[in-house]
Structure 1
Amino acid sequence: MGGGQEGGTQSGEKEMTDQLLDNLRTPAQIAERITASPGIHLTDRTVWEKARRLGIAKKVGRSMLISIDDVPKLLQQEKERHVPISKANALEILRRHRKKQENAKQESK
């Protein structure tokens, strides 16, 4: 009796796993599909970085996979654009911050 139910459960789990895996894509696959549209060029690195920022990437070993259900999120414009800070800019920001702190200390005396 129990053997028939086990087989059905295993079959159902396999179907769910297969469906889940069928819905996952690599950043390269997503970039290739989007780039197929006229006037759009997108690299897999760009897809990878945005998926990480949005928290929609799934890591399996060293590979990153993204659900096809999350692809529309990748296509939405981000509210704030992440701009990397160069060493020179970082030093300038630090100097300005320290100067503000020094000025605040001198004014409080």
Structure 2
Amino acid sequence: MNKLLARTLIAAALVVGTSFTATAAMAADAAAAAAPTDEQLAASVKAALDADATLKAFNLVVTSKKAEVTIDGTVDHGEQMAQAGQIAEKVPGVKYVINNINPKD
């Protein structure tokens, strides 16, 4: 292989490698920018709980710290407690749910 062809191939490989690295970094930046804040996450979980017909009557308090969501409050039945946890887990961005809801039964 002649020297010119070898240099061209090396240069092309470097450009492709740099391009891939830049693209990966840009994707990581975009993902970080798209992640909701804890306040936004808590509001999204609260909205999801309030949208549920069986849970909207209860005053459930939602907080979030580092995408770990905590739900506090009281409901009538254990099934409602479990349902609230399941709804919270499905909200995009939630990593973990601490379900501190107390059922009356």
TM-score, L = length of structure 1:
0.38
Q: Which one has the bigger strand percentage?
A: 2
Q: TM-score, normalised by structure 2?
A: 0.39
Larger relative contact order (CA 8 Å, sep ≥ 6)? 2
